[in-house]
Amino acid sequence: MKHPYAITLDVGTSKANHTGSWRTKRPVYVDRLPPCNAACPAGEDIQGWLSLAEQGDYEAAWRALTKNNPLPAIMGRVCYHPCETACNRAAIDESVGINSVERFLGDLAIEKDWVFDNPETQTGKKVLVVGAGPAGLSAAYHLRRAGHGVAIREAGPLAGGMMRFGIPKYRLPRPIIDAEVERIVAMGVTLSLNDKVDDIEKAMTEGGFDAAFLAVGAHIARRAYIPAAGAAKVMDAVSLLRSMEGEAPPLLGRKVVIYGGGNTALDVARTARRLGAEEAIIVYRRTREKMPAHDFELEEALEEGVSMKWLSTIKAVDGGKMLIEKMALDETGFPQPTGEMETLEADSLILALGQDVDLSLLDRAPGITIENGVVKVGPDMQTGRPGVFAGGDMAPSERTVTVAVGHGKKAARYIDAWLRGISDISTEKHGLASADRLNAWYYEDAPATVRPMLEAARRVKSFEEVAGGLNETNALYEARRCLSCGNCFECDNCYGVCPDNAVIKLGPGKGFQFNYDFCKGCGLCAAECPCGAIDMVAEDI
C-alpha cells in the first residue's frame, strides 16, 4: 500500500530536455517498502498508520491500521512484533515501539467506541468460516468488507479461540477480546457459538455456502510417553489454560514442574505461580539459545520466580517424584542423553509439548490432503477441494496470533477473487528501504518509550495485566520516532539543498517533482534525503 504522502513522479522527460551530455545520472523520487511493513505477518501498512498517528489523527491512524488487521488492541498485547526487529531506527538508537502505539490505538478505539464501516454493496455470495480464533475473525472481517455474507461457526462457548483459551488473562484481558469481536459481528457477520462443524461438506451444502475458510485452532495437546506410577498428578497445558476460563481454578500444589520449552510452557509456569505455587520449574531438553519461546517472555517469567532446568528430560514419574536425565550437546549442538539421573519432587507435572488440530471435519471432504498434521494449501490458501480454503493453525506455519491474522486476510483476498472469477490478484512490491539508504545525520537520539510494567511481587498475586499501555503523550512521541524509511515525508531537504532550483513543490501531501531542464545531476538531493526516497538513475542518452 502506498504511503499517505504519495509522490508525483516525473521520469519521462524527453532527450531534448537534457542539460548536457555531462549529466550521467538524474534524480528520481521513489517509494520503497519499509522494513517494518515487509516483516509484518499480518501485512499491515505500519509506516502509513504511524504517519497519521504522528500527526495526532488517531482515528484515521486506527482506520488505516484496521484495513489490514481488525484486532489492534489484541495484537498490541500478544504480537511478538517482528516489525520492531526489522526497524531501521535500531541502527541509530532503538527500534520504534510500533507494537505499543498499535495497542494505544486499539485501546483508544474501544474507549471511543469507533466502529467499522458496513460494506457499501452486497455480492450475494455466502462464505462459511469455521472457527472464531484470530484467523477466522480476520477472514470474516475482510470477507464482510468485500460485501459477502459471512457466517462463523465456533465449537466453543465463547469467541476468540486460542487467544481466549490459550493466552492467560495477565497478557490478554478478556474484555479486550470481547470488544474487538463485537465490532466485527456488528458489521453483519453471523457468529454461532457451541456449534461444532463435524462435516465440512454437509455444512456447506445445508447452509448454501459458496466457499469456506477453515480456521480450527490447535486445541489438542500432544502427549509424550512417560512411564507413570502411583498417584502422579499429570495434566496437559491446554487443559490447564482452558480451565482458567471456568469458575474454579485447578489445584496444582506448592511445587509444579512444566515439561516443554515454548511460549505455552512459560504461560503455564507463570499461571501456576499465580495459582499459589511456591515453585514453578520448567524442564527443557535444550539450551536457552534453542528455546522456541520468545526471549522477552522468558525474562518476564524469570522475574516472577519461574526457574529453569536446561538440558534435562523427564524419564519417569512415580507419585510425586520425577526421574530427570541430564542431557549434553553433541558436536552438532543436538542434545544427547548422558545416563546421569536426578530425582525431582513435585505436586504436579504439566506437559507443554505442543498442540494438534482436530481435522475430523475433513473426513468426507474430497481432494483435501493432510501432511504432518496440517492441511496442505496452495499459495492462495486453497485446499485441494475447490472453494475450501484453510489457514491459521490448520496450515503449515508458525503458530502465532499475528501469523493467523495474516492468513485470514490473505485467504479472504483469494476467496473474494475466487468468488468473482478473478484468477490473478498478485501485486508488485517496491524494493526494500534498507538502513544504508538513510541519512542518519538528521536524526537525534530519541530512545524508545518503555512500557509500564506491573511489579513482579504484585504479578504473582493476581491475574492483573502485566504490561501497561502508553498514554497520548508518549504514544505521540513514539510515533514521531518513525524515520519514514524509503518514502518522502516532505521535509523540504531536497528543495533546500538543490543549487539549481530544480525541485518543484507540488503542495502539502503531494510531494515534489524535478525540473530536469535545470537539474545538473549533482546528486545533492539524494545524498541529503533523510529517508532514502530519491534514487540517482542512469541517463538514457
For the segment 163-168, the average pLDDT, to the nearest whole number, is: 94
Mark whether 215 and 237 lie in a shared domain.
no
What's the pLDDT tens digit per position in 307-325?
999 999 999 998 889 999 9
167 shares its domain with 71: no
Burial of 356 per CB tally in 10 Å (0-12, 13-18, 19+)? middle
CATH number at residue 58: 1.10.1060.10
The verdict on 330 and 455 lying in the same domain is: no
Do residues 347 and 239 share a domain? Answer: yes
Poorest-pLDDT segment among 26-40, 186-200, 441-455: 441-455
Stronger pLDDT, 229 or 409, i.e. the higher one: 409
Q: pLDDT, tens digit, for every residue of 449-504?
A: 999 999 998 999 999 999 999 999 999 999 999 999 999 999 999 999 999 999 99
Beta bridge partners of 27: 536
Flag whether pLDDT at 9 surpasses 60.
no
pLDDT tens-digit series, residues 349-404? 999 999 999 999 999 899 999 998 999 999 999 999 999 999 999 998 899 999 99
Cell of residue 453, nine digits: 510494567
Residue 2 resides in a domain: no
- Same domain? 231 vs 334: yes
Where is mean pLDDT largest: 9-23, 77-91, 214-228? 77-91
Of 308, 336, 354, the last residue of a domain is: 354
The answer to whether position 430 is within a domain reads no
The pLDDT value given to residue 541: 57
Domain of residue 43: give its range: 35-114+438-479
Same domain, 227 and 310: yes
Same domain, 168 and 156: yes
| Cα 139 to Cα 154: distance, rounded to the nearest angstrom | 14
Q: Specify the long-range contacts of residues 510-513, CB closer than 8 Å, at least 24 apart.
A: 510/6, 510/8, 511/5, 511/6, 511/7, 511/8, 511/29, 512/7, 512/8, 512/29, 512/488, 513/8, 513/9, 513/10, 513/29
Q: Are residues 466 and 492 in the same domain?
A: no
Specify the pLDDT at position 185. Answer: 98
Count of domains forming the chain: 4
User: What are the counts of helices (DSSP H) followed by strands (DSSP E) for the chain?
Assistant: 18, 22
| Residue 118 DSSP class | P
Question: What CATH number did the domain enclosing 331 receive?
Answer: 3.50.50.60
CA-wise closest residue to 157 among 195, 123, 120, 128 = 195
Can you tell me the mean pLDDT for 142-152? 98
Is 495 a member of any domain? yes
pTM of the model: 0.91
Query: In this predicted model, which residue has the larger pLDDT, 65 or 541?
Result: 65
Residue 20 lies in a domain: yes
Angle at 134 between CA 166 and CA 69, to 5 degrees: 135
Tell whether 236 and 335 lie within a shared domain: yes
In this structure, are 243 and 339 located in the same domain? yes
* Same domain flag for 240 and 340: yes
Q: Are residues 149 and 161 in the same domain?
A: yes
Residue 427 counted as domain residue: no
| Percent of the chain surpassing pLDDT 70 | 95
Q: How confident is the model at residue 224 (pLDDT cuts 50, 70, 90)?
A: confident
Q: In what helix (H) or strand (E) does residue 418 lie, and over which residues does it extend?
A: helix 401-420
Virtual CA dihedral for 484, 486, 487, 492, nearest 10 degrees?
80
